[in-house]
């Protein structure tokens, strides 16, 4: 089977395709024949050994797959050969076959295609935990979503909307703003025209600011967000796509009586597998009701993983990018 690997600290162009023997699942694990895997921003970091997790070389990047179970190890009872499954991994998804732990695999709806299913687990999983389990958004609250046309951002727009919130999106172009509105945002702020979004957020919230801020961007966006957060608000630290990890002035938390809340979904899914299962049940129910519309902005063949990563870094492809085997 073919695998995309980083043999050393790599740029996307350095990734190689190699052949590996068919892997066999051990106890509590299953083998999935991968139909599709999806990109995440962190893939671009992990190949350069710039991510929290630094695997030994050579390794395959990739956190999520959708495919068909082709073997089960001893003790696996929830899956059988032939079942369709999505799964998440610490890394290693850019392969034609993967071994995953059974509690990190999940069934997905019959009507969902593999590309959509591959794009689903990390982004929707992260946004669900951030918005529902960590910041407990309530119907009628205002949620400000940054990077709102990106992989996790667009899912946050949809989940906040499905949970009854009012959503203000920010994105870097008119086209991206239009996409966020099509996915349910009530307002979109085009940062190419209004880089100082603080006043716009204030005026859209009657001067109060946003109740919850979902921030996968960091840097200046985070700094400015703390200046348009409501009394008692919550800012979710999701990621740092802008490249700078912001520092939080404690006086701003004090005067707004607000909270900064970290979200590390990769760890959450291992620590709380029961809640993860419940989250996917809810998310797939919303998908079946038409409340979630995963946006796959581009598909590439597995062998073009480097090119796909470059496309992600260009910020030109909205939603998720998928690799098909």
Ligand X SMILES: NC(=O)c1ccc[n+]([C@@H]2O[C@H](COP(=O)([O-])OP(=O)(O)OC[C@H]3O[C@@H](n4cnc5c(N)ncnc54)[C@H](OP(=O)(O)O)[C@@H]3O)[C@@H](O)[C@H]2O)c1
Binding site for ligand X (CB under 6 A): 40-42, 122, 126, 147, 149-153, 171-172, 176, 216-217, 238-243, 263-266, 312, 315
Residue 88 phi, psi dihedral angles, 5° rounding: -115, 150
The smaller minimum CB distance to ligand X, of residues 29 and 321, is found at: 321
The smaller minimum CB distance to ligand X, of residues 117 and 149, is found at: 149
**Minimum distance of ligand X from residue 44's CB (angstroms):** 8
The smaller minimum CB distance to ligand X, of residues 227 and 315, is found at: 315
**Minimum distance of ligand X from residue 113's CB (angstroms):** 20
Given the structure tokens 């239009």, which residue do they identify? Answer: 178
The smaller minimum CB distance to ligand X, of residues 233 and 239, is found at: 239
Distance between CA atoms of 112 and 48, rounded to whole angstroms? 33
**Minimum distance of ligand X from residue 243's CB (angstroms):** 6
Contacts of 221 (CB under 8 A, 6+ apart): 146, 170, 215, 242
Q: What is the DSSP string of 40-83?
A: -HHHHHHTTT-SS--PPSSB---SEEEEEEEEE-TT--S--TT-
**Minimum distance of ligand X from residue 129's CB (angstroms):** 8
The smaller minimum CB distance to ligand X, of residues 173 and 208, is found at: 173
Contacts of 289 (CB under 8 A, 6+ apart): none
Distance between CA atoms of 288 and 109, rounded to whole angstroms? 8
The structure tokens listed for 205 are 């919230």
The smaller minimum CB distance to ligand X, of residues 172 and 230, is found at: 172
The smaller minimum CB distance to ligand X, of residues 84 and 269, is found at: 269
For the chain, how many helices (H) and strands (E)? 11, 15
**Minimum distance of ligand X from residue 81's CB (angstroms):** 31
**Minimum distance of ligand X from residue 254's CB (angstroms):** 25
**Is 196 in a helix, a strand, or coil?**
coil
Distance between CA atoms of 92 and 60, rounded to whole angstroms? 4
**Minimum distance of ligand X from residue 172's CB (angstroms):** 4
**Minimum distance of ligand X from residue 32's CB (angstroms):** 21
The smaller minimum CB distance to ligand X, of residues 172 and 225, is found at: 172
Picking from 45, 39, 209, 27, the residue whose alpha carbon sits closest to that of residue 101 is 27
For 5-40, letters b (16+ CB in 10 Å) and e give bbeeebebeebeeeeeeeeebeeebbbbbbbbbbbb
DSSP bridge pairs for 105: 87
């Amino acid at each position: 089977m073919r695998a995309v690997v980083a043999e050393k600290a790599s740029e996307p162009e350095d990734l190689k395709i190699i052949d590996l023997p068919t892997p066999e699942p051990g106890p509590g694990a299953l083998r999935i024949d991968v139909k599709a895997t999806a990109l995440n921003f962190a893939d671009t970091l992990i190949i350069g050994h710039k991510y929290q997790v630094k695997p030994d070389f050579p390794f395959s990047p990739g956190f999520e797959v959708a495919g068909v179970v082709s073997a089960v190890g001893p003790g696996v009872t929830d899956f059988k050969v032939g079942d369709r499954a999505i799964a998440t991994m610490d890394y290693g998804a850019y392969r034609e076959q993967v071994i995953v732990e059974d509690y990190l695999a999940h069934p997905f709806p019959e009507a969902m295609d593999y590309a959509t299913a591959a794009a689903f687990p990390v982004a929707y999983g992260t946004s669900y935990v951030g918005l529902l389990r960590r910041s407990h958004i309530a119907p009628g609250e205002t949620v400000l979503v940054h990077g709102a046309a990106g992989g996790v951002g667009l899912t946050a727009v949809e989940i906040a909307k499905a949970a009854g919130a009012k959503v203000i999106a920010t994105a870097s172009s008119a086209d991206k703003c239009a996409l966020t509105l099509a996915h349910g945002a009530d307002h979109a702020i085009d940062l190419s025209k209004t880089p100082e979004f603080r006043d716009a957020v204030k005026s859209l919230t009657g001067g109060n600011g946003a109740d919850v801020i979902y921030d996968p961007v960091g840097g200046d966006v985070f700094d400015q967000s703390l200046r348009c957060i409501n009394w008692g608000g919550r800012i979710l630290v999701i990621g740092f796509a802008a490249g700078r990890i912001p520092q939080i002035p404690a006086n701003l938390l004090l005067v707004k009586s607000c909270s900064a809340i970290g979200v590390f979904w990769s760890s959450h899914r291992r620590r709380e597998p029961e809640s993860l299962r419940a989250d996917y049940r809810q998310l797939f129910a919303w998908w079946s009701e038409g409340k979630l519309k995963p946006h796959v902005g581009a598909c590439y063949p597995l062998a073009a993983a480097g090119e796909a990563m470059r496309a992600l870094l260009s910020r030109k492809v909205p939603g998720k990018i998928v690799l098909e085997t």
